[in-house]
């Protein structure tokens, strides 16, 4: 009788632990229409800023594109920051695009965290386009 109770409690414990794991480890896949609309507006804003002649506006576009990709990644994978989420999302992208996304993200980090970063407009434009391509692959 005691063995039966141990087995029942053991099974109950593992089932409860499994349920908790499923609830908290599964990323949110569905995005409501309002969020999707905001992301689309943000994507269009990035496209407009990337077309600007002003270098500061193109830098802003890159930062916005990086934020947009990060927001989408949050719905697909877990992670404490953008870098971690990008690592967790490696399977969504082919190798080449994945590497390009990392380079674009690192360029964004340089722009945001370093003083006096000099970047060519073509480099900014390309990085922004890469980040938008990542967003598209993730469903935007």
The 10s digit of each residue's pLDDT in 21-69 is 555 554 555 677 888 899 999 999 999 999 999 999 999 999 999 999 9
pTM of the model: 0.77
Residue 115 φ then ψ, to 5°: -90, 135
Residue with tokens 């480890």: 25
For the chain, the structural domain boundaries read 30-137
CATH class of 30-137: mainly alpha
Assigned token pair, 118:
């000099």
3-class SS of residue 139: coil
Distance, in Å, from the CA atom of 80 to the CA atom of 83, rounded to the nearest integer, reads 8
């Amino acid at each position: 009788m005691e063995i039966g109770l141990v087995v029942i409690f053991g099974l109950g414990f593992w089932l409860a632990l499994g349920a908790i794991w499923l609830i908290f480890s599964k990323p949110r896949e569905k995005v409501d229409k309002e969020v999707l609309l905001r992301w689309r507006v943000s994507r269009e804003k990035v496209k407009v800023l990337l077309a600007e002649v002003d270098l500061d506006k193109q830098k802003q576009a890159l930062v916005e594109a990086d934020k947009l990709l990060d927001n989408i990644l949050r719905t697909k994978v877990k992670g404490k920051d953008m870098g971690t989420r990008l690592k967790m999302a490696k399977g969504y992208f082919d190798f080449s695009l994945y590497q390009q996304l990392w380079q674009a993200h690192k360029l964004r980090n340089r722009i945001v965290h370093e003083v006096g970063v000099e970047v060519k407009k073509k480099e900014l434009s390309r990085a922004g386009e890469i980040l938008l391509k990542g967003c598209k692959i993730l469903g935007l």
